[in-house]
Amino acid sequence: MKATYFDGKKITLEQNYPEPNSAEALVRVNLAGICGTDLEILDGYMNYHGVLGHEFVGTVEKSENSELIGKRVVGEINVGCGVCSSCINGMSRHCPNRTVLGILKRNGVFAEFVSLPEQNLHVLPDSISDEQAVFVEPLAAALEIKEQVTLDPQWNVAVVGDGKLAQLISRVLKLSCNNITCFGRHQNKLQSLDKLGIKTKIGIESLDEFTFDLVVEATGSNSGFSDTMKLVKPRGIVILKSTIASRENLDLTPTVINEITLIGSRCGLFKPAIDALATGMVAVDDMIDSTFPLEKFQEAIIHAKKPETLKVFLKP
């Protein structure tokens, strides 16, 4: 099969890459999305070697469950061992022996085919397009915040960042909180949030400092943490979403002085995300940027790295 292979230094298109694990469901990839984590892996994050990509929609071609064959699906990216305490307690996302699609010891979706266990697959309703379906994984990550924190509608809430994940987080938080401000650097990205009634700002002013009950950091950069600490009020809550390759040390002293609650937040459940897209509760069409054939993956990556770019797709 055709697949893009990353050897830790460079990424190349392989024409005869081995097909995926025959013991799992085989899915033909219809469309894959390039996200910030993929770009960080190319810079050394996770020291990963293999096929990149974890956001996708595809069609099941082979499965021991005959009812899945021919169905359009998305797939949860963490595959647990199934026998440890985390897996037994429904927390396979934190299994110490897990593999992660396109991130940790498991080939991803920048390829013609991908394999996953049947229990990781979710059948999609026809009301969700392929382009919308690629957003299920990052939307699930955004919705995870609502599982971790009981949101107060009256809270003053800030989202730091204006990329794909920050955009989704802003839309999700708007469902529960009245006062949302997204702090970004690119006006063209923030325009879509303005239309949704979400306040946006370029840069932080002195009047913004230490005024937010909850701040979500989703910049993908170390500087985002510094900005976050400028915004959160004493004894406020900070949710960290960024995964970055940089080894630069962060100054955590302000979190102690101001008694800040720090919460790490990663993956989320797929069903709430699918429901949110199917019902139109969260709209994503305005976040779609462009689609490249798999053969032009280099151009797609270059385009995805541009600061003003939103969601870029690869089509095998």
Cα dihedral 279/282/283/289 (nearest 10):
-130
pTM for this one?
0.94
Report yes or no on 193 lying in a domain. Answer: yes
**Do 76 and 97 lie in a common domain?**
yes
In this model, does residue 246 exceed pLDDT 70? Answer: no
In this model, does residue 21 exceed pLDDT 80? Answer: no
Report yes or no on 217 lying in a domain. Answer: yes
Q: 128: left (phi > 0), else alpha (psi -120 to 50), else beta?
A: beta
Report yes or no on 37 lying in a domain. Answer: yes
Return the CATH number at 113.
Answer: 3.90.180.10
Q: Where are the beta strands (DSSP E) in the chain?
A: 3-6, 11-14, 25-34, 50-51, 55-62, 72-75, 78-79, 99-100, 113-116, 121-123, 156-160, 179-184, 199-202, 212-217, 232-240, 261-264, 288-293, 311-315
% the chain with pLDDT above 70 = 98
Report yes or no on 275 lying in a domain. Answer: no
Structural domain boundaries enclosing 148: 141-264
How many domains would you assign to the chain?
2
Return the CATH number at 213.
Answer: 3.40.50.720
**Do 184 and 85 lie in a common domain?**
no
**Do 159 and 249 lie in a common domain?**
yes
**Do 172 and 75 lie in a common domain?**
no
**Do 49 and 148 lie in a common domain?**
no
What's the pLDDT tens digit per position in 26-35?
999 999 999 9
pLDDT at position 252: 86
Report yes or no on 212 lying in a domain. Answer: yes
pLDDT at position 22: 83
What's the pLDDT tens digit per position in 31-57?
999 999 999 999 998 999 999 999 999
Cα–chain center distance at 123: 19
